[in-house]
Homo-oligomer: A and B are copies of this chain.
Amino acid sequence: MRLAVIGVGLIGGSFALALREAGKVSHVVGAGRSRANLELARERRIIDAIAPDAAAAAREADMVLVAAPVAQFPQLFAAIAPSIAQHTVLTDAGSTKRDVIAAARNALGAKIAQFVPAHPVAGAEESGAAAASATLFRERRVVLTPLPDNAPPTLQRVEDAWRACGARITRLAAEEHDAVLAAVSHLPHVLAYALVHDIAGRANAEQLFAYAAGGFRDFTRIASSHPEMWRDICLANRDRLAAELARYQGRLGDIERLLAAGDGGALERLFAEARAARNRWLKSSS
């Protein structure tokens, strides 16, 4: 199988490495914005060749993975559309799905049937080809949001590829995907970014950071994520994210009222229920 990876970063690079390790690809070509990153990817044997652009990469590929920040998808789909052969399948790694699908529909025309949208729920603060790893997707969830246009064999080829990376495959409707991820991923990222940004901007920031401990470090780990990627996610999913933000502020208002009332019983119940729920989740997911 000849694979084209558009965006050879943490996700795109890991996909290529995992498929290579699984013996599923014979040749990988990469395209992307940063020449230095592509050269590193070639040195690391993540890709065999560097294409001059996305369209050239997609030409003659059996499978194309688009793994760029989601705001670039409209332009990337438009660029590759003419190069996509009839037997080629496309997938992606975008963290939002409604916008990616809309971009694909708009650019690909009838070739939309060849595109099976995917979101590997596996990230890290690191980015770029330097961080790619053949094991990134192992036991991680990859969500497919198939289109009514996808023929079963097309779907199967894409699902097989992600499965060969070691991922656990589930399917969701795109709308459901974006709603779920807004709550458990996009909102927490914004909350962590907001806290660190606020503290960093205070006159006594240095003192505050000096007393931040392990709890703060873990709480804010996701605030070290890729700013451009998260800008794009927030804008692409802004309706769902705004709804989550509003809802969450309502919950903070509840806690403010408990504090003002000095209602220790209700506070302790809330904390205990949260702890119990989290511990059940950890147990069930391990």
Residues of A within 8 A of B (CB): 71, 121-124, 140-141, 143, 170, 180-181, 183-185, 187-201, 204-205, 207-225, 227-228, 230-232, 234-235, 238, 241-242, 245-249, 251-252, 255-256, 259-260, 262, 264, 267-275, 277-279, 281-282, 284-285
Q: Are B200 and A219 in contact (CB under 8 A)?
A: no
Give CA–CA (A277, B269) in the complex, Å.
35
Q: Are B231 and A222 in contact (CB under 8 A)?
A: no
Contact check: which of B221, B264, B274 meets A200 at CB < 8 Å?
Answer: B274
Other 6 A-B pairs with CB < 8 A, given A193-B274, A194-B248, A225-B275 = A188-B216, A192-B219, A192-B274, A195-B251, A215-B221, A235-B267
Given A274-B200, A278-B223: A209 touches B184 (CB 8 Å cut-off):
yes
Q: Are A227 and B191 in contact (CB under 8 A)?
A: no
Q: Are A213 and B270 in contact (CB under 8 A)?
A: no
Give CA–CA (A205, B236) in the complex, Å.
24
Contact check: which of B222, B245, B270, B274 meets A252 at CB < 8 Å?
Answer: B245
Inter-chain contacts of A232 with B (CB < 8 A): 264
Q: Are B234 and A267 in contact (CB under 8 A)?
A: yes
Given A197-B251, A216-B184, A219-B188: A234 touches B259 (CB 8 Å cut-off):
yes
Contact check: which of B121, B209, B214, B215 meets A281 at CB < 8 Å?
Answer: B209
With both beta carbons as reference points, the residue of chain B lying nearest to A212 in the complex is identified as B184
Give CA–CA (A270, B272) in the complex, Å.
33
Inter-chain contacts of A270 with B (CB < 8 A): 193-194, 197
Closest 5 CB pairs of A and B: A200-B277, A227-B271, A231-B268, A227-B272, A196-B274
Max chain B Cβ within 10 angstroms of own Cβ: one of A204, A241, A271: A271
Q: Are A274 and B214 in contact (CB under 8 A)?
A: no
